[in-house]
Amino acid sequence: FGHPDAVIIPGTKSTIHDLQFLKKQGLDILLQKYAEDGGPLLGICGGFQMLGERLIDESGSDTGNSNHIEAGLGLIGAETVFHPEKVTVQTSGTIHPNSGFRTQEITGYEIHLGRTTFTQPRPFLLLDNGEVDGYVGENGWLIGTYLHHLFHNDEWRNDWLNGLRRQKGLNEHSVVNVGRVKDERYNELANGML
């Protein structure tokens, strides 16, 4: 495991099976200690669900076994219940004003089976439909969200990375507009082929 600057637990097609794999490898204990020691840990979709206290597969939609209950990593006071209907939606909103981060627009998409409820909500995002998403810990380093493509948001990605840079005593960087860089490269390629 070493001493990572940050850990991102990505989305998955089977949250509970992948969580069980982490536990078999002993990574659950390492992740718990890492987060408790203030290490930057971010869970996206299934990774977010794993951060909670319990995952309940009522319908068997995640594991194939109805009413399966799995202990999560216990880093967030939350419980996820899996249902047969999958949420698939384009999502937009802003970083929640109480999150400790600079408020800015965020876009992405959600694709998941579970619904997560919190014992102590600390939302990460304020969605355009008026709902909230995710969780952010008091120090800002423990984050969970259902939003895929979070890091495709150039300003957010830059703010988060600059936080890591500050923590290590490194210089901050300015925002890189990845879409513009890609367009420039495609134009260079097209011009070279003429």
Count Cβ atoms below 10 Å from residue 80 Cβ, excluding itself: 26
Catalytic residue among 45, 149, 152, 173: 45
| Whole-number Å distance between alpha carbons of 83 and 144 | 20
Report DSSP letters for 24-89, one per residue: HTTHHHHHHHHHHTT--EEEETHHHHHTSSEEEESSSTTTSSTTEEEE---SSSEEEEEEEEEEEE
Q: CA nearest 148: which of 80, 59, 47, 17?
A: 47
| Whole-number Å distance between alpha carbons of 84 and 61 | 5
Is 148 considered catalytic here?
A: yes
Is 45 considered catalytic here?
A: yes
Catalytic residue among 148, 149, 152, 173: 148
- For 28, the token pair is 């659950």
- Which of the residues are catalytic? 45, 148
